[in-house]
Structure formats: C-alpha cells, structure tokens
Amino acid sequence: MFKGFRQFIMRGNVIDLAVAVVIGAAFGAVVSSFVTNILTPLIAAIVGKPDFSAFNVTINGAVISYGIFLNALISFVLVAAAVYFFMVAPMNAWKARAARNAVPPDPTSKKCPECLSDIPIGARRCAFCTSVVGTT
C-alpha cells in the first residue's frame, strides 16, 4: 500500500503539479500586489475615485451594492490583463521565436492522386481506392 503511494507521489506529473501550484500562488501574490498597489491607484488618479464599494442603490428597501461588484470586476480585468501582458504574450513570442528556426518533421503520409485520401508515404497502392501510387 505504501509502495503504491510512494510511486504515485514520485511520478513526474504530480511533482510538476505541486511546483506549479506553489509558483502559481507566489505569482498570484505578485500580480495581486501589482494590481492593488500600482494599477488601481492609476485608475483612481484617472477616474478620481480609488474605491467604488460605496456605490449602491436602494430598491424597495433592498440595498444593491453594485460598487463592490465593480471593484471585483475591475480587479479581475486588471489581473487578467497583467497575466496576459506579462506572462502569456512574452511566452508566446518566445515560443514563436524558438519555432522559427525549427526544422519541420519529415512527412509520414501523402495524398492519393485519385481519391485524395491520406496514405502512408511508402505505400504503392491506395488502401481506399486501390489505385497504384508511385513511391515519391
């Protein structure tokens, strides 16, 4: 029983997931601090209000605090933008730059000239229409 548990824990994907969770939590703290301490004050400087939580409306005695929702929505958009512009976009650019010099893999299939089916590259006869295909 413990042997199976040890094998489960020592798998590469479990350890990778654990590392990803720890790094994700740390990155989340950095992004939250960036949004709270830099982006939100910039919006407050532009709009004039640092906090929208006081905005509410009363309908038939029920208080609807739409300002709290606005704060959460703005925070979400700013966090998503920060993650995209500081993590996703640079990573995509890096991958595209790395793939630019990559050699494409050799083809493993070709098209049958008669029926346009995909057949193995070494086939001499099409498996679908049985026409003779030259080895190219």
Q: Which residue has the tokens 């989340």?
A: 28
Domain borders along the chain are 2-100, 105-136
| 53-72 average pLDDT score | 86
- The separation between the first and the last C-alpha atoms of the chain, rounded to the nearest angstrom, is 55
Q: Which amino acid appears at position 80 of this protein?
A: A
pLDDT digits (tens, 9 = 90+) for 44-54: 788 777 677 77
Q: Identify the residue with better confidence: 61 or 29.
A: 61
Give the separation between CA 70 and CA 32, rounded to whole angstroms: 16
Assign domain 2-100 one CATH number from 3.30.70.2740, 3.40.50.880, 1.10.1200.120, 1.20.1250.20. Answer: 1.10.1200.120
Q: Identify the residue with better confidence: 101 or 132.
A: 132
Of 95, 93, 87, nearest to 27 (Cα)?
87
Global pTM value: 0.51
